[in-house]
Chain A
């Protein structure tokens, strides 16, 4: 089934640890995004990539890094996790840039930093 796969589904992580959230899509979409969703704050963009080999910062990039070595994969890394990074993380992709084509979201990763 075409779509976006995120892993892990959920994780409890000790503060200070490094972690990479994985995101893979099989739709050959050019643009990919990482969002975090927190109660009362809605979805906030962390990083984005308009095409393989390029990345950009979103609204809340601090403490996170991304890479886009190929079209399909867009991992998000927390270099040294802090409790404020406890959130639900969604990876998304779109055929073109921005929202013109609509976003397809992965099923999310629930991360708890303790």
Chain B
């Protein structure tokens, strides 16, 4: 089983729709979780961290479910500019070398 699994998509949604992605992970020792956004042929950029209690940033909501070992990203009122690939990222360990694992990403295409 892969350490991190994401549905590659693409998710094709109309403007204004709500869309959600999940990311499952296999190592229960994973400590920190993040969502990154990557536009086509560009570098990844941090979208938001994911906290145990869930967190929201404008139209974006991130959730963590440790019992079922997945994180989710909800995007409300989708904009054309939300079209991108969304990477989930996990961190394990503390001090010294911390292992960071990137998912392969879920592609979102918002359609006019």
Contact = CB atoms under 8 A, between A and B. Distances in A.
A27 to B, nearest CB: 14
B34 A56 contact: no
Interface size class of A (residues with CB under 8 A): 20 to 34
B104 A40 contact: yes
Tell me the dominant secondary structure on chain A's binding face.
Answer: loop
Contacts, number: 52
Given A48-B97, A102-B34, A43 B46 contact: no
Nearest to A56: B97
Contacts of A108: 42-43
A107 interface: yes
Given A99-B32, A99-B34, A43 B44 contact: yes
Interface of A: 35, 40-45, 48, 50, 56, 90, 97-100, 102-103, 105-108
5 contacts: A48-B97, A99-B98, A102-B34, A103-B44, A103-B46
